[in-house]
Chains A and B, each alone.
Chain A
Amino acid sequence: NAGVMQNPRHLVRRRGQEARLRCSPMKGHSHVYWYRQLPEEGLKFMVYLQKENIIDESGMPKERFSAEFPKEGPSILRIQQVVRGDSAAYFCASSPRDRGWGYTFGSGTRLTVV
């Protein structure tokens, strides 16, 4: 039973490029969460999605960031026109039901903007 799959594990982008981060939740999980972690810091909530719906995006920057979880395929976190400050580890987590259950995290995508 595969866990939460994230790819790529490492992503290097030049300033101004777009970054696309993918997340496939655990089988049977329909709730997906994205978190950002800066070095030596905690996890900052970004967005909570269910299939085809954004439930809570209160942690997402208003510009350049977007997320989707289509009916078919993985959840995508998209960062347009990346800047150095976007460099961080981005973790995706999933749960089988709505919030209030333990999350299963993926291995993360380490984004480096050069």
Chain B
Amino acid sequence: GQQVMQIPQYQHVQEGEDFTTYCNSSTTLSNIQWYKQRPGGHPVFLIQLVKSGEVKKQKRLTFQFGEAKKNSSLHITATQTTDVGTYFCAGADSWGKLQFGAGTQVVVTP
């Protein structure tokens, strides 16, 4: 079955630095979604990518969908303490069923 892998599992970042988290699927995806979960909170939808090679930006966050629609990345520039949380990617198969990755837990040190 479909598997979605995320790396790294943990990311310690100095405030002001950039980092990237990666998401890889074992199968071709119809779309990929990204969510953020703050500690003790619930997942919050960030964005959906549908087209091959698509790039979308939200302020300091840049999301990319690979050409083969099997991988994606989230790049955050100038990390702030408000970026703390776990970032999940979720790949949708041809039926639209979402498979979540295990998440990248981000810790920001001032």
B-binding residues in A (CB < 8 A): 33, 35, 40-45, 48, 56, 91, 93, 98-108
Name which residue of chain B comes closest to A31, CB basis. Answer: B96
Shortest beta-carbon distance, A90 to chain B, in Å? 11
Q: Which residues of A contact B98 (CB under 8 A)?
A: 33, 45, 99, 103
Interchain CA distance A62-B58 in the complex, whole Å: 41
Interface of B is mostly: strand
* In the complex, number of A-B residue pairs with CB atoms less than 8 Å apart: 53
Contact, CB under 8 Å: B100 / A100: no
A-binding residues in B (CB < 8 A): 30-31, 33, 35, 41-45, 47-48, 88, 90, 92, 95-103, 105
Contact, CB under 8 Å: B102 / A99: no
Q: Which residues of B contact A100 (CB under 8 A)?
A: 30-31, 92, 96
Shortest beta-carbon distance, A88 to chain B, in Å? 14
Q: Which of B30, B90, B101 has the most CB of A within 10 A?
A: B90
A-B residue pairs, 8 tightest by C-beta: A99-B96, A100-B96, A102-B45, A42-B102, A43-B100, A105-B42, A105-B43, A42-B100
Name which residue of chain A comes closest to B101, CB basis. Answer: A42
Q: Which residues of B contact A99 (CB under 8 A)?
A: 92, 95-98
Name which residue of chain A comes closest to B41, CB basis. Answer: A107
Contact, CB under 8 Å: A108 / B30: no
Name which residue of chain B comes closest to A4, CB basis. Answer: B42
Interchain CA distance A107-B41 in the complex, whole Å: 7
